[in-house]
Structure 1
Amino acid sequence: MASINLTELPTTGSTLFQDSESFLNELNNIDAISINGGNDYSSSTNAVLAYGIKGLEFGAITFGIDAIGHLVKSFSDAGY
């Protein structure tokens, strides 16, 4: 049976943290707290996006109600 022995396994990107000029050494507590992954927008942008989402929800609900109305009308016109 074959076996593979690894003596040294370098991790990808480990050189970014071994350098003396690493970006992690330059972060202070305020900078570290403010990093949140990039999914948070400003409050005004959040408000605009919320209105946009509500508008799309309103359109989808209106389309659904209209489709149900057409379906009901097609059954009532056919005499079922």
Structure 2
Amino acid sequence: MMLLRRITQHIKNQNWFAVFLDFVIVVAGVFIGIQVANWNELKKEQQLEKQYIQNIISDLDDQLASINDQKVIETQFL
């Protein structure tokens, strides 16, 4: 019974504003951490997209050069 009374007294004496403030700070920290992780992931995806576009442009340039070379060869034989 003494233990229960001590626990009850401790809960009554607790500064609940400080507990709430600590809770808000932890939640805000987790939220900011998640937002930073999402922002970083988006940045990585945008860089990957840019690399894909550059690769497509390079492939198209190579194909165009190949087509032009083939065109020159065909006109020489005609």
After TM superposition, the score normalised by the length of structure 1 is: 0.51
1:61 is matched with 38
- In 1, Cα distance between the equivalents of 2:37 and 2:27? 15
1:73 is matched with 50
- Which structure 2 segments of 5+ residues have no match? 12-17, 60-78
**Looking at both structures, which has the greater relative contact order when contacts are Cα pairs under 8 Å and sequence separation is at least 6?**
1
- In 2, Cα distance between the equivalents of 1:69 and 1:45? 36
Aligned equivalent of 2:26, options 34, 49, 63: 49
- In 2, Cα distance between the equivalents of 1:53 and 1:74? 32
Identity of aligned residues (%): 12
Rg larger in structure: 2
After TM superposition, the score normalised by the length of structure 2 is: 0.52
Count of aligned residue pairs for this structure pair: 50
Shift of 1:31: 2.0
Output the aligned Cα RMSD.
Answer: 2.6
Shift of 1:29: 8.5
- In 1, Cα distance between the equivalents of 2:3 and 2:48? 64
